Amino acid sequence: MTRSFEPDATDRAILRLIQRDAALSLAEIAKEVGLTPTPCWKRIRKMEQDGVITERVVILDPEKVGLGVSVFVAIETGDHSAAWIETFASTVAKMPEIVECWRLGGDVDYLLRVVVSDMTAFDGFYRRLTAQVPSLRKVTSRFAMERVKSTTALPI
Partner DNA sequence: ATCGATAGTAGGAAAATCTTTTGCTTGCAA
Partner DNA sequence: TTGCAAGCAAAAGATTTTCCTACTATCGAT
Q: Which residues bind DNA (CB under 7 A)?
A: 10, 25-27, 35-39, 41-43, 45
Q: Which does 2 bind (CB under 5 to 8 A by kind): a copy of itself, DNA, none?
A: none
Least distance in angstroms from the C-beta of 94 to a copy of itself? 10
Q: Which does 51 bind (CB under 5 to 8 A by kind): a copy of itself, DNA, none?
A: a copy of itself
Least distance in angstroms from the C-beta of 109 to a copy of itself? 10
Q: Which does 41 bind (CB under 5 to 8 A by kind): a copy of itself, DNA, none?
A: DNA
Least distance in angstroms from the C-beta of 87 to a copy of itself? 13
Beta pairing partners, 110: 75, 103
Beta pairing partners, 21: none
Q: Are 59 and 66 in contact (CB under 8 A)?
A: no
- Phi, psi (rounded to 5 degrees) for 74: -95, 130
Kindly give, in sequence order, each residue whose CB lies less than 8 Å from that of residue 149, ignoring residues fewer than 6 positions away: none
Task: Tell me which DSSP letter residue 10 carries.
Answer: H
